[in-house]
Amino acid sequence: MDTAIFSNINWLAVLVAALAYFALGALWYSKVLFANSWVKLTGVNMSDPSARTGVAQIMVSSFILMCVACVALAILIAKIGIAGWMTGLKVGLIAGICFAATSVSISYLYEKRPLGLHLINGGYNIIGCAIAGIIIASWPK
């Protein structure tokens, strides 16, 4: 297997980008922004003790998936060969809109989820990818 595709990745930048993506989620799904709407749209009963079951595993799994997304962003940015925050923003927005948000929404269409949930979760992934792209493309090699 040819692993050359990974040779131009700044792994520290990927880790910081994934941490920023994860931290955005803490803010995005907090009561400051969209927690109340998200709870209402998903129908999660926050007073039910079983709603908190497995939260640590979900958090760890989501962070790992964010790392995978950030590795993919780093590969795309390295292949483009142009550094800088604007390149990172553009690549992040393209990935967030064209891959992350659309993938979520395709599933939600079949699940007949409310439009508000598409917007909350899709918006999170768009902004998360944009922030991650900026970090990765701006990080010194």
Which of 33-47, 48-62, 117-131 has maximum average pLDDT? 117-131
- At 77, give phi and psi (nearest 5°): -65, -40
* d(C-alpha 43, C-alpha 13), whole Å: 36
Domain-by-domain residue ranges, the chain?
10-138
Confidence grade of residue 111 (pLDDT, cut at 50, 70, 90): very high
Range 77-99 average pLDDT: 95
* d(C-alpha 111, C-alpha 47), whole Å: 25
Would you say the pTM of this structure is higher than 0.85?
Answer: yes
The Cα-based distances of 24 to 9, 43, 83, 96, 141 in angstroms read 23, 22, 23, 14, 25
